[in-house]
């Protein structure tokens, strides 16, 4: 069975729809930008509700809680085979105020030294056009679904669904 992940696609409307994305921390991602960002998400345990997991992951990766109406999106399969369950939710948070949990890894490789890195090193608000350039290509269908829901009037441009 493919690994399961769950996350939130937070959106807000200003002059246009903007989405909140996070950039992965750690040395592998440090110099990568285009095609490296993601929705805040993480692994779902077998006994965990995917929506609860997505809310937990958002809090762990940003330090902020999310409340509101969670609109389910169709699951996607990432390039590595992982299935991502996601929900759109209207909200707002300050990217400069994120506080991510950390992970430990040997760095530099084969050095024997363990270092801590933030799971997320930065976050930002992006228009859908900008987000399509920033986000992992396999997550672009989530942006498409959000845009389709706005176009169909299923999401309120004022913020609430």
- At 97-142, the pLDDT tens digits run 999 999 999 998 999 999 999 999 999 999 999 999 999 999 999 9
What local confidence, expressed as pLDDT, does residue 160 receive?
A: 44
Does the pLDDT of residue 84 top 50, yes or no?
Answer: yes
The Cα–Cα gap between 18 and 15 comes to 9
Does the pLDDT of residue 19 top 80, yes or no?
Answer: yes
Q: Using 50, 70 and 90 to split pLDDT, how confident is the model at 161?
A: very low
DSSP assignment of 98-145? ----EEEEESSTTS--EEEEESEEEEEEEEHHHHHHHB-GGGHHHHHH
* Entry pTM: 0.93
Please, are residues 93 and 21 in contact by the beta-carbon 8 Å criterion?
no
pLDDT in tens, 23-65: 999 998 989 999 999 999 999 988 899 999 999 999 999 999 9
Provide φ and ψ at 92, rounded to 5°.
-155, 140
Please, are residues 34 and 134 in contact by the beta-carbon 8 Å criterion?
yes
Please, are residues 5 and 43 in contact by the beta-carbon 8 Å criterion?
yes
What local confidence, expressed as pLDDT, does residue 79 receive?
A: 86
Q: Which of 76, 99, 70, 84 lies closest to 161 in space, CA to CA?
A: 70
| 4-151 CATH choice from 3.30.70.100, 3.90.79.10, 3.40.1160.10, 3.40.50.300 | 3.90.79.10
The Cα–Cα gap between 26 and 120 comes to 8
Q: Map out the domains of the chain as residue ranges.
A: 4-151
Does the pLDDT of residue 15 top 60, yes or no?
Answer: yes
């Amino acid at each position: 069975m493919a690994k399961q992940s769950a996350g939130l696609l937070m959106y807000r409307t200003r002059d246009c729809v903007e989405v909140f994305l996070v950039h992965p921390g750690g040395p592998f991602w440090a110099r990568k930008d285009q095609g490296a960002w993601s929705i805040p998400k993480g692994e779902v345990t077998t006994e965990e509700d995917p929506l609860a997991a997505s809310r937990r992951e958002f809090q762990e990766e940003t330090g902020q809680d999310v409340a509101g109406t969670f609109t389910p999106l169709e699951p996607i399969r990432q390039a590595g085979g992982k299935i991502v369950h996601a929900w759109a939710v209207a909200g707002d948070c300050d990217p400069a105020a994120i506080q991510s949990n950390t992970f430990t890894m040997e760095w530099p490789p084969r050095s024997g030294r363990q270092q801590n890195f933030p799971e997320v090193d930065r976050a930002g608000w992006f228009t859908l056009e900008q987000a399509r350039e920033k986000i992992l290509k396999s997550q672009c269908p989530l942006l498409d679904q959000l845009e389709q829901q706005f176009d169909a009037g299923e999401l309120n441009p004022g913020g609430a669904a």
